[in-house]
Amino acid sequence: MPATCIKGTGYYVPENIVTNADLTRHMDTSDEWIRERTGIEERRYCTKHKESTSIMGTKAAEMALSNAGIRGDELDLIIFATLSPDYYFPGCGVLLQRQLGITNTGIGAIDIRNQCSGFVYGLSIADAYIRSGMYKNILLVGAETHSMGLDFSTEGRNVTVIFGDGAGAVVLSATDEENRGILATRIHADGSHAEELAMINPGSHGGVHSEDPAAYGYESSEYGKTFISPKMLAEGMIYPNMNGQFVFKNAVARFPEVIGEVLVASGLKKEDIDLLVCHQANLRISQFVQKRMGLRDDQVWNNIQKYGNTTAASIPIALAEAVAGGKVNKGDLVCLAAFGSGFTWGASLLRW
Ligand SMILES: CC(C)(COP(=O)(O)OP(=O)(O)OC[C@H]1O[C@@H](n2cnc3c(N)ncnc32)[C@H](O)[C@@H]1OP(=O)(O)O)[C@@H](O)C(=O)NCCC(=O)NCCS
């Protein structure tokens, strides 16, 4: 049975740097508060009318393909993970295919959500296809444009200061090389906390998940349900909401738990990890996980200080940067781990 290896990595972040000080012009916050609670110093926002989730994803994919030495038309499958797609439908997968100039219609394009865990979920899908022998080369992209959907008033400050835009990509290929590639992946979900970190509107829920439909912005309409209502727009109900402390508590428990699972599944120990790349949710969460697991500074990679939380893009951006910076070498044991909205979480352990 072939194994799945990462053959090439790539990333793209917009040029437009937004510092904490820049945000203080829009909302009541401070550089000190943001750094202390999140470790974030700056983030990138897309250039208006020029960049989008699929466009950034395409740039990251081009770099990953070039580093893998593979042409777009050699791909068997595209998997695109995002919670901020260009269009409600179709998804970014087909836009990426078009923008890469792939005219081969024999290729599939899968769009997945799974928010901050999107990349690890995508990895598990790609790994299953490759190990089954069905596909040889898969492009997995995680990209986000958060800046289009954030509340820049003081009311939205707890969410807005955290998120940034960007894209990362990997080319996954089949390998027969001994002791190389993905050793184990585990994914999890707990939908009982779905609304603790969510963007509820616009949507087709019609208020059914709340005892008070109006609290979700629902207004009855003559035909069907309200997808977006004047109330949602007027009352700022179209922005993401987050129960920050609850998310924090769950994240610091789930990260070590799932990392432990992939280590056990592979018969390895935390001391064997050469590099842990956690989803960049909050530097304080990553530091908590590092401490809980007793890992040294040189065993972890963080870059949230520069980019904020880029959701599905954060692991592939961090991985591509670590690879470009010479932090990942052949034979290294790399662990990728994620936690986020859903709640969903997961981890993957791979031999580089
Ligand atoms: C969001 C987070 C940084 C907030 O930190 P916190 O210590 O939990 O802060 P709280 O939400 O309890 O708010 C504390 C105070 O700071 C204020 N505050 C919130 N955001 C602020 C901001 N950007 N600037 C200044 N003050 C802010 C709150 O209004 C509150 O004020 P009050 O005490 O007067 O009511 C933190 O909860 C967190 O990082 N959670 C995890 C989030 C995450 O990782 N999400 C992504 C998961 S994938």
Instruction: Provide DSSP, 314-333.
Output: HHHHHHHHHHHTT---TT-E
Stated pTM of the model: 0.96
Contact 174, 130 (CB under 8 A): yes
Same domain? For 218 and 308 the reply is no
- Residue 209 annotated in active site: no
Among residues 314, 312, 337, the alpha carbon closest in space to that of 256 is found at: 337
For residue 319, report the distance from its CA to the centre of ligand 1, in Å. Answer: 27
Instruction: Provide DSSP, 116-176.
Output: GGHHHHHHHHHHHHHHTTS-SEEEEEEEE-GGGG---SGGGHHHHTTB--EEEEEEEEEE-
pLDDT at position 223: 63
Same domain? For 188 and 221 the reply is no
Dist. CA 271–CA 186, nearest whole Å: 20
37, 121, 311, best to mutate for ligand 1 pocket (most atoms within 8 Å of CB): 37
Same domain? For 120 and 227 the reply is no
Specify the CATH number for the domain of residue 40: 3.40.47.10
Among protein residues, the one whose CA lies closest to atom 46 of ligand 1: 281
Sequential pLDDT tens for the chain (352 residues): 899 999 999 999 999 999 999 999 999 999 999 999 999 999 999 998 899 999 999 999 999 999 999 999 999 999 999 999 999 999 999 999 999 999 999 999 999 999 999 999 999 999 999 999 999 999 999 999 999 999 999 999 999 999 999 999 999 999 999 899 999 999 999 999 999 999 999 998 888 888 887 888 877 766 666 788 888 898 999 999 999 999 999 999 999 999 999 999 999 999 999 999 999 999 999 999 999 999 999 999 999 999 999 999 999 999 999 999 999 999 999 999 999 999 999 999 999 9
The three-class DSSP label of residue 293 is helix
The three-class DSSP label of residue 281 is coil
Same domain? For 231 and 275 the reply is no
Instruction: Tally the domains of the chain.
Output: 3
- Residue 278 annotated in active site: no
Same domain? For 15 and 80 the reply is yes
Contact 280, 313 (CB under 8 A): no
- Residue 309 annotated in active site: yes
Same domain? For 98 and 158 the reply is yes
Q: How far is the CA of 224 from the CAs of 206, 228, 330, in angstroms? A: 9, 12, 56
